[in-house]
Amino acid sequence: TTPLSEINKIHASLTSTFLASLSSTKPSSTAVPYPLLSLPYRQHQLLQLARLVQENADALCESLWIDEGKPRQEVVMAEIGAVIGRALKGAKELESWVGGGAEIGEDVKLEAWQEAWKARVEKKAKGVVLIISPWNYPIILTFQPLCGAIAAGCPALIKPSEVVPTFSKLLAELVPKYLDPAAYRVALGGVPEITRILELKWAHIFYTGNGRVARIISAAAAKHLTPMTLELGGKSPVIIDGANLGGEELVVAARRVMWGKVNNAGQICVAPDYVLIEPSYIPQFISACRVALESFFPNGALNSLDYGRIVSEAHFSRIKGLLRDTKGRVVIGGGVLDGSEGQEGARARGIEPTVVVLATAADDVLLQDELFAPILPIVPVASVAAALEYVRAHEHPLVIYAFTESDDVKGEVKAGTMSGNVVFNDTFNQLSVDEIPFGGVGESGYGRQPLKYTFEEFVYSRSVLEVPFSEEPKFGGRYPPSSKETLDF
Ligand code: NAD
């Protein structure tokens, strides 16, 4: 844990780095031979970040195995590979994001009567920023925002989650070995530390986590008028349009939904939360879910090293409570490790992938809060139109998944709902696409990532206008006293 007295010092040191970058073009140190926060400096730090993750991939995977019981394949696929790829891409694309050239920014073409003036828009670093990351995908959800801050030229304090202490401690050891400690620091701790951190003035706060804490952080940010990015969660629905799917497509749909649900044992912000489907397709869909799970985990999910665990005792008992209190019918799974299986630490907190059929879309405990669990409720609806009505009646989700081969239905889903993303015929895969922005709307948050979109969160557009003295003859009419001529339209 970072001592509270240290937090103000870190803030002061990052602030002096930022101020020094505005007034000096000297190389920052022998270790980083480029002017502080300059373009080549930022490119170098992005490459260093890629190196950090690549050279320590094993230790990072190991830390999440200890803290969360998370399978290595999931960490490599969803976190390690993506961070390395995006840090390298960021270093390559950075010049085009800022406008490129020796003078950063872009010239703007003006109206004919202003053509002698010079106007530019420059993407400028906001200043010293704060990144607060959660436990569920801590590698990518820490480093992806950090890539944006580095690219933008913002010094950053990173506050990883106390829920994953082995990972957070490793992060605090690795960051100063690879990145310039003058500009990038890690603070460890929980509520007392974050509370102290939030008393200080930051130029931007990038928070990934739940909506309850987002409100606490937003209130603290408001005291300093600090702008924010909020990457939150919610209940992301899956609409299965059985009438417009062939038998084989329904099977693939079930496999893709179950894959989205079993990843990290359902603890993903974009997990398919629940399924809306017409009753006549439910039996076929359930048997396809069963086939998918048997193919993923032939010896049972809870016996497989490829299946994750629940992060904490608190979440474990919350999820057991959901299984106890639902009025739905468990049709697949329902198994829970009870300590008699000899699995230890995080690996002892296992919940089997579970499918529950609800009688109606009326209230059930599974339809209240974001599940964040490997439980998939199936909710019968009369039609796709009824499914859209249900989605519209609830908070805007991070993502809507819809499985259909009908262009008309795709159009209805897009026109008839609001969400951060819409994905047709797959789950989770939107996160692998670098070119489209990811983020929420309403209760699922605001702001976007990755790459250029994250960079944009940490910069502001500064316009620069230069009006030549030689334009003075044009301005005669703007100075008082007024005349009839200047008052006439
Ligand atoms: P968490 O408990 O690790 O909390 C996230 C951060 O908030 C941590 O750094 C923690 O220290 C800090 N925090 C906790 N309590 C606080 C308090 N009282 N005051 C100030 N800061 C506090 O993670 P979590 O919130 O359980 O994460 C899961 C949530 O995050 C889910 O709702 C999920 O949907 C969402 N999520 C969103 C995205 C996205 O990109 N949109 C990604 C992952 C997770």
Question: What pLDDT score was predicted for residue 28?
Answer: 72
> At residue 330, does pLDDT exceed 80?
yes
Protein residue whose Cα sits closest to atom 40 of ligand 1: 231
148 vs 456: CA distance, rounded Å: 8
Residues 188-234 have pLDDT tens digits of: 999 999 999 999 999 999 999 999 999 999 999 999 999 999 999 99
Question: What pLDDT score was predicted for residue 23?
Answer: 87
DSSP class of 182? T
Across 120-140, average pLDDT: 96
Sequence-ordered list of residues with C-beta below 8 angstroms from that of 23, at least 6 positions apart, any chain:
none
15 vs 10: CA distance, rounded Å: 8
> At residue 9, does pLDDT exceed 80?
yes
DSSP track, 314-379:
HHHHHHHHHHHH--SEEEE---B--STT---GGGG--B--EEEE-SSSS--GGGTS---SSEEEEE
Q: Which CA distances in Å does 424 have to 68, 289, 387?
A: 30, 18, 15
Grade residue 247 by pLDDT with cuts at 50, 70 and 90: very high
Residues 14-63 have pLDDT tens digits of: 999 999 999 877 777 777 889 999 999 999 999 999 999 999 999 999 99
User: Which of 1, 70, 136 should be mutated for ligand 1, with most atoms under 8 A from CB?
Assistant: 136
CB atoms within 10 A of CB 24: 11
pTM check: above 0.90: yes
> At residue 100, does pLDDT exceed 70?
no
More confident residue, 367 or 478: 367
Sign of CA dihedral 53, 56, 58, 62: negative
Across 385-390, average pLDDT: 97
**Cα(164) to centroid(ligand 1), Å:** 12
Q: Name every protein residue with a CB atom under 6 angstroms from any ligand 1 atom.
A: 132-137, 141, 159, 161-163, 190-191, 194, 208-210, 213, 216-217, 231-233, 269, 370, 398, 440, 445
Residues 337-352 have pLDDT tens digits of: 988 888 999 999 999 9
**Cα(233) to centroid(ligand 1), Å:** 9
Question: What pLDDT score was predicted for residue 332?
Answer: 98
Rounded-to-10 torsion of CA 337, 342, 344, 346: -20
Is 269 noted as a catalytic residue in this protein? yes
CA 68 to chain centre: 19
Helix segments in 56-99, DSSP class H: 57-68, 72-75, 81-98
Supply the mean pLDDT for the chain.
95
Q: What percent of the chain has pLDDT over 90?
A: 89
Is 344 noted as a catalytic residue in this protein? no
Instruction: Supply the angle between the helices 138-152 and 81-98 in degrees, to the nearest 10.
Output: 20
Question: What pLDDT score was predicted for residue 101?
Answer: 47
Phi-psi region of 451 (alpha: psi -120 to 50; beta: other; left: phi over 0): left
Protein residue whose Cα sits closest to atom 27 of ligand 1: 209
Question: What pLDDT score was predicted for residue 59?
Answer: 98
Grade residue 471 by pLDDT with cuts at 50, 70 and 90: very high
| Candidate list 61, 147, 154, 269, residue with the active-site label | 269
> At residue 486, does pLDDT exceed 80?
no
> At residue 180, does pLDDT exceed 50?
yes
> At residue 174, does pLDDT exceed 50?
yes
Question: What pLDDT score was predicted for residue 71?
Answer: 96
**Cα(24) to centroid(ligand 1), Å:** 37
Question: What pLDDT score was predicted for residue 379?
Answer: 98
| Candidate list 193, 231, 278, 352, residue with the active-site label | 231
Question: What pLDDT score was predicted for residue 358?
Answer: 97
> At residue 103, does pLDDT exceed 60?
no
Residues 261-309 have pLDDT tens digits of: 999 999 999 999 999 999 999 999 999 999 999 999 999 999 999 999 9
Residue closest to 156 by CA, chosen among 123, 127, 133, 198:
127
